[in-house]
Structure 1
Amino acid sequence: MIRVNVFVEGQTEETFVRELLVPYFSNVEIYLTPILAQTSPGHKGGIVSYGKVKHQLGRLCRQDSKAVVTTLIDYYGLPADFPGQTNPEQDAEKRAVAMEQALADDIQQPNFIPNLVLHEFEALLFCEPAKFADWLDDEAPIAQLQAIKAQFASPELINNSPQTAPSKRILALVPEYRKTLHGPFIAADIGLDAIRAQCPHFNRWIERLLALGH
């Protein structure tokens, strides 16, 4: 039996792991457990400083060295002290890969697999904007969401400025969108296979976890 502890930054990602990834991986006898980031005593969710992340990841790796520890953290909005932030690479995916490596180098644990979501969780929802229809009273924004998607080779490449990050684009068109409520369920409607097919960076993480079973 292979166990994987997935360090997640918020309740949305926690639900995403539990509802989509856990059943997907249990079919191949890899058992995932979401671990919600702790920001302060009694408070969970959010990445406010790298120091807190490093402490929690290191502790998870050492507490159970026979389990793999991985992350589900948004690349967009990482704190300034996160490893690799000074990398001059301009290509978002290459920069994310370099930051993942910098994170692995800093954690220095053999059972650790770093992963950053390009650019944030909401990018995955652009894989099939039509799935928003089941959660909206007005379907008018669907065409606009699809038009945004059509501008990019992959949903992961929808850019990451404060005005144009995937979540900001969704909220501008769908003000009633609530990440923790709607996000995981829309992702579940889309399905993991469709997300993997359109999001190569995300898919490489999934493939790396699946390879643990071989």
Structure 2
Amino acid sequence: MRSLYLLAEGQSEFVVIDSVLQPHLEQAGFHVRKSILVTKPTVGGPALRGGVSSWARIEGEIRRVLLDPTVDIATTMVDYYGLPNDTPGMSQRPLAADPFSQVTAVEQAIEEVIGDPRFIAHLTLHELETWVLAAAGPLGDLVGNRRLTG
């Protein structure tokens, strides 16, 4: 089995990884590990998790994961919207281009800065929570809630 590490932006992404992606990836032969970005370490208590506070914090967590030689692939599940301005590629992204090209440019810049072939940047163009609203009908079918199916 190959080891895949998913670094989630927040609780919503973590739930999607846990309930949707992980079972599928495990069937495909991956051992999945995951965590939520630490947004603020606290003295004497648990660290606060979820959300993107700074590129330095994201970079530090990615590099910490890649210190583990058993990780074959590491990736992120982070929303493009709201990325800190100092994130690699943000100031150079092609603003006149379509949003997908902008996301791709930032992902490539992040991968270049990290510089580890095991790392594949993944930014979600639209906030993950938007996916739920956009697919309320199928979500209602999935969870058995007729009020969502319309």
TM-score range, shorter chain: 0.7 to 0.9
Shift, 1:39, TM fit: 1.3
2:72 aligned residue: 67
Contact 1:65-1:111 within 8 A present in 2 as well: no
Contact 2:3-2:70 within 8 A present in 1 as well: no
- Are 1:101 and 2:112 an aligned pair? no
C-alpha distance 38-135 of structure 1, shift in aligned 2 (>3 A):
farther
The counterpart of 1:49, out of the listed 36, 51, 54, is: 54
- Are 1:88 and 2:121 an aligned pair? no
C-alpha distance 19-54 of structure 1, shift in aligned 2 (>3 A):
same
Shift, 1:32, TM fit: 1.6
Unmatched tracts of structure 1, length 5 or more: 144-214
- Are 1:40 and 2:40 an aligned pair? yes
Letter in 1 for 2:21: L
Tell me which protein shows more strand as a share of its residues. Answer: 2
Letter in 1 for 2:119: F
Shift, 1:128, TM fit: 2.8
1:58 aligned residue: 63
TM-score for both structures, normalised by structure 2: 0.83
Contact 1:6-1:33 within 8 A present in 2 as well: yes
Letter in 1 for 2:3: R
> In terms of mean alpha carbon deviation, does 124-133 or 95-104 score higher?
124-133
Q: Deviations along 1:24-51, whole A, 9 cap, x unmatched? A: 1111211222211011222111111000
1:4 aligned residue: 4
The counterpart of 2:121, out of the listed 100, 107, 114, is: 114
Q: Aligned with 2:101: secondary structure?
A: helix
Tell me which protein shows more helix as a share of its residues. Answer: 1
Letter in 2 for 1:38: V
TM-score for both structures, normalised by structure 1: 0.60
Letter in 2 for 1:98: A
| RMSD (Å), alpha carbons | 2.1
Contact 1:6-1:69 within 8 A present in 2 as well: yes
- Distance, in Å, in 2 between the alignment partners of 1:138 and 1:24 is 28
Contact 1:37-1:47 within 8 A present in 2 as well: yes
Letter in 1 for 2:28: V
- How do residues 1-214 of structure 1 correspond to structure 2 at under 5 angstroms? 1-41=1-41, 42-64=47-69, 66-86=71-91, 87-89=93-95, 90-126=97-133, 128-131=135-138, 133=140
